[in-house]
Amino acid sequence: MLKLRILAVALLSSTLLLIASCADWRSYSYDSTHFSRQPSESTLNASTVSTLHVIAPWPFVVPGGAALTASPAVYDNTVYVGSLDGHFYAVWATGASQATIRWQYPPVPAPGSPDACGITSQPLVISPTVGSGNPSGPGIASSASIVDSVAGHTAVMFGAPDPTSNGGDGRLWALDEATGHCIWKSDILAPVGDKAKIGYSSPVIAHNRAYVGISARIPDDITVGKLFAVMLADGHLDPGFHFSAVGGPGQTGGGGIWSSPAVTPSGNIVITTGNSLLGDGVPAGVFRDCRSGQLRQSCDFSAEGRLGARSGHKEWRPVLEPQLLLRRPHRSG
């Protein structure tokens, strides 16, 4: 597998350090809208891009040479990224200690007893006895998000297997951004027994919740794509939020959510899915109810009035191709 490194790059014409500019890069594609550019940066342009070069003492190479597929987040002069061997790293971005480890998780040296999340030294990987043929690997492929007000902490949050739960059930993990101490791990989102995994999906933050998708643990062993809402306060699932990419009786798999959700300016949650069975055999203009599978003229995703969704709009039209879906949660708590 290709071994990747974290690089810091600068322009020859300035001292700008793109990986740690004056503004942070708190999540995959910058923020919850996936804005994908740095609004505070003005030096890099078409005429200066050719002068980009790596700054010593970068690059940072993951100990043991493990591969990286997650994108880094930047906050508090620190670069945060997880590796496919199940370790998460906080690396100093600038200063006397730049390109060195600020902290890592699981911690080194290992604590004498398990931490608040039950971890001592076990990497966050799916056990080899369970197996993961998914290209996102057995460890951490989910890009981290920096999140305020998580049980009184600023947290770094990402999806990863739990080595203490059935050989690697998928959860969200919330670590203190300054110390790396585990604040909470979420309820189980991707049970290995259901052939599921949190792969490349990065948590997006809105409405005091973290939204993340799950996909298949092994590509040829299809699971049901689902989107979950996790409460920031304690890591528990919001029981009023439900989305499954499979809509009808007898439909057993499909619609994996491999990518990261995004949030529209109006508060909708936007996701893409793999080939879904939501519209299997349904005439054009007719929808399946996304819980019962019954045919209807509009697809109503409301859930007991707590977290409902706009119904009957074209963005919910199901097709048998990868889909773009919109969901607007109510802001009730």
Give a three-class secondary structure readout of 129-145: CCCCCCCCCCCCCCCCE
- So what's the pLDDT on residue 252? 60
Q: Name the residue with higher pLDDT: 234 or 129.
A: 234
CB within 8 Å of 274: residues ≥ 6 apart: 215, 225, 245, 254, 255, 256, 257, 258, 322
Helix, strand or coil, per DSSP, at residue 51? helix
Torsion from C-alpha of 162, 164, 169, 173, nearest 10 degrees: -30
CB 157 within 8 A of CB 147: yes
Q: Which long-range contacts (CB under 8 A, 24 or more apart) does 101-108 make?
A: 102/78, 102/180, 103/179, 103/180, 104/180, 105/175, 105/180, 105/182, 107/180
The arithmetic mean of pLDDT across residues 198-213, rounded, is 92
**Residue 162 pLDDT greater than 50, yes or no:** yes
DSSP code at position 301: -
52-102 pLDDT, tens digit per residue, is 888 888 888 898 888 888 999 999 999 999 999 999 999 999 899 999 999
Handedness of CA 235, 277, 142, 300 (dihedral sign): negative
Structure tokens at 217: 């643990």
Token pair belonging to 32:
């919850």
Q: What is the DSSP letter of 282?
A: P
Q: Which of 70-79, 175-184, 259-268, 300-309 has the lowest mean pLDDT?
A: 300-309
Please tell me the predicted confidence (pLDDT) of residue 133.
Answer: 58
217-238: average pLDDT: 84
Cα(273)–Cα(264) distance, rounded to whole angstroms? 17
Q: Are 122 and 109 within 8 A, CB to CB? A: no
Question: Range with the lowest mean pLDDT among 136-150, 178-192, 196-210, 319-333?
Answer: 319-333
DSSP type of residue 186? P
CA separation for the pair 310, 183 (Å, rounded):
34
